[in-house]
Amino acid sequence: MLALQKQRVVALFNSALASLIAGTDLQPTVVLERPRDPAHGDVSCNIAMQLAKPLKKNPRELAQQLVAALLADPARTGLVDAVEIAGPGFINLRLALAARQEVVHTVLQEAAGYGRGTLGTGRKVLLEFVSANPTGPLHVGHGRQAALGDALSALFAVQGYDVMREFYYNDAGVQIATLAASVQARARGFKPGDADWPEPAYNGDYIGDIARDFLAGNTVSAADCAPVVASGDVDDLESIRQFGVAYLRREQDLDLQAFGVKFDNYYLESSLYGDGKVHAAVDALIKAGKTYELDGALWLRTTDYGDDKDRVMKKSDGTYTYFVPDVAYHIVKWQRGFGNAINIQGSDHHGTIARVRAGLQAVDLGIPKGYPDYVLHKMVTVMKDGEEVKISKRAGSYVTLRDLIEWSSGEVEVVTDTDAANDAPRDLTRGRDAVRFFLISRKADTEFIFDVDLARAQSDENPVYYVQYAHARICSVLAQWGGDESVLDGVDLSPLTAPREASLLARLADYPEALEHALEELGPHQVAFYLRDLAGELHSYYNAERVLVDDMPTRMARLALLLATRQVLRNGLSLIGVSAPMRM
């Protein structure tokens, strides 16, 4: 149901309720839902069951009184055709035909703006996602974060929020020291398995690539990072560290570029130390009386804030534990004016939530208890050629995000005007679309099996192909018609009376509310669900009714319906970063 229509129906109910609740302190909220079974109508309301007890009435009798008032209200003319009572007291409404058809004109007039809302007007939100340590290429878990974070960012933006997409680089600490030692060992000619190979170390082939470029004195540049020139000196561990971090940041940039994900800001963990933010956070916690010393270590009283035990902040060797810079970083987020912050991370970070929030509460800056919000995702299992592809980052045999995109692209290649056929770049659009769609198509907290063979399949079993084919199918019909699409916004829609047309119209009207629900639950998977349902309605309609019929009014009305459907498919696919091909 369109927003304006929903407001009018709510107003009808409030008017019907006025005399029934007069003299009471009741302030009921009318909630409208779409019945699961279309046979029950277009809109359902359970207000009679909500108010039966406080009004001391039988719910069905109360529903009958409301129905009588609704039917007698002249404001329902042109909006509601029929009102019925179902079950213990549900009130089901059937919209007038013209009201249901109105969605076509609304979509065509608003075009790319259809589905946009104003819930977030004047509000800021920071979404931090991917945030991979610069110790290797992005793996499929990072890919799931990228897909979730980017789609969720788009959902916030559609509702009018001022959105900041941020990538936090853990470019300090033990893992970076391990990276530098690994590259130094390869630069000295050692390799995994040699007696002098350090333990622990990163064993992937990319370590050898970094070492080769370092010895060659190459220069690397990453996003939001000054160029780093390799000294070529194998004894200069600091130069190796700086070069290795910049090299892998650039590699991750390339992965994200292939995935079509862009960030507004990159924040470095090292800057928290350089700017004194970590020291300031620790000092604030000490002054607040929330710390104590034991066995040469500094502890934070996280149990005061619901944690199962207190946590070490500074170890006896003087180094900070990993959650301390996280506390400092989130204090900075708050101070930057982001009262709404969301982190998209792997489920293995669950244990850090309580201690980070405890630290933020302890500094007493007015930060809410639930700050920041978290969306945690579970692991991704990759299947290819019917077998699981094992993921082992230490061994260097894990599946990278780029691997997944390239595999899902199949063997398709493109040739540019300036490239020879044998070295032309691959068109990764198909792979990127599949990976993007697949990785948001399940709730984040469920494990996901990514089937590469399914991602490459051109069949209805492949959900992204199924949705994109609906868009391409509409393009084909419109091309066959060959008329001016701009005239379709003004056509008479009254011929749209077939059952499949009614279902398609209702699904189009659901789109704005589907986006609102997806945002409320921080669940972009609902967008994928909606698109599959809309594509299903389109395919069913296409198979049931001819569009280019001889009767001109019917033909034009059906073309307008298809054009509106194409627009909504395009809007939804764009929101999750998936292309809308015209031909397939």
DSSP strands (E only) in 434-480: 448-451
Model pLDDT, residue 458 = 94
Model pLDDT, residue 254 = 92
CB–CB of 160/200 below 8 Å? no
Mean pLDDT, residues 370-377: 97
Mean pLDDT, residues 456-460: 95
Q: What is the CA radius of gyration of the chain?
A: 29
| Closest residue by Cα to residue 328 from 287, 268, 374 | 268
Strands 162-169 and 265-268: parallel
Model pLDDT, residue 423 = 52
437: pLDDT strictly greater than 70? yes
The pLDDT-based confidence of 392 (bands split at 50, 70, 90) is very low
Structure pTM? 0.91
Q: What is the 3-state secondary structure (H, E, C) of 292-340?
A: EEECCEEEECHHHHCCCCCEEEECCCCCECCHHHHHHHHHHHHHCCCCC
Model pLDDT, residue 425 = 63
Distance CA 559, CA 495 (A): 11
Distance CA 301, CA 234 (A): 44
Q: Residues 6 or more apart from 53 whose CB is under 8 A from it? A: none
420: pLDDT strictly greater than 60? no
CB–CB of 91/45 below 8 Å? yes
Quickly count helices (H) and strands (E) in the chain. 19, 17
- Measured distance between the N- and C-terminal CA atoms of the chain, rounded to whole angstroms: 32
Distances in whole angstroms, Cα of residue 24 to Cα of each of 12, 17, 49, 51, 54 = 20, 12, 17, 12, 9
CB–CB of 437/464 below 8 Å? yes
Which residues face 92 on adjacent strands? 44, 84
Question: Across the chain, what does the average pLDDT equal?
Answer: 93
Q: Please report the sign of the dihedral spanned by the C-alpha atoms of residue 184, residue 190, residue 196, residue 200.
A: positive
State percent of the chain over pLDDT 70.
Answer: 96
Mean pLDDT, residues 15-20: 96
**Tens of pLDDT along 191-232?**
999 999 998 899 888 999 999 999 999 999 998 788 999 999
The pLDDT-based confidence of 568 (bands split at 50, 70, 90) is very high
The size of the chain, in residues, is: 584
Q: Buried b vs exposed e over 538-552: b needs ≥16 C-beta within 10 Å?
A: beebbeebebeeeee
Q: Residues 6 or more apart from 437 whose CB is under 8 A from it? A: 463, 464, 467, 528, 576, 578
The pLDDT-based confidence of 419 (bands split at 50, 70, 90) is very low
424: pLDDT strictly greater than 60? no
140-158 and 401-408 helices, crossing angle to 10°: 80
Name the token pair of 251: 């590699």
Model pLDDT, residue 283 = 96
Mean pLDDT, residues 412-426: 45
Model pLDDT, residue 399 = 85
The pLDDT-based confidence of 418 (bands split at 50, 70, 90) is very low
Place of tokens 């000295």: 188
Helix, coil or strand: residue 46: coil
Asked whether the bond before 192 is cis by omega within 30 degrees of 0, the reply is no
CB–CB of 134/252 below 8 Å? yes
Model pLDDT, residue 521 = 97
Strand order in the sheet with 311-314: 291-294, 297-300, 311-314
Asked whether the bond before 200 is cis by omega within 30 degrees of 0, the reply is yes
Distances in whole angstroms, Cα of residue 181 to Cα of each of 208, 244, 509 = 12, 10, 58
Distances in whole angstroms, Cα of residue 51 to Cα of each of 10, 22, 391 = 16, 13, 55
6: pLDDT strictly greater than 80? yes
Distance CA 67, CA 72 (A): 9
377: pLDDT strictly greater than 80? yes
310: pLDDT strictly greater than 50? yes
Model pLDDT, residue 502 = 93
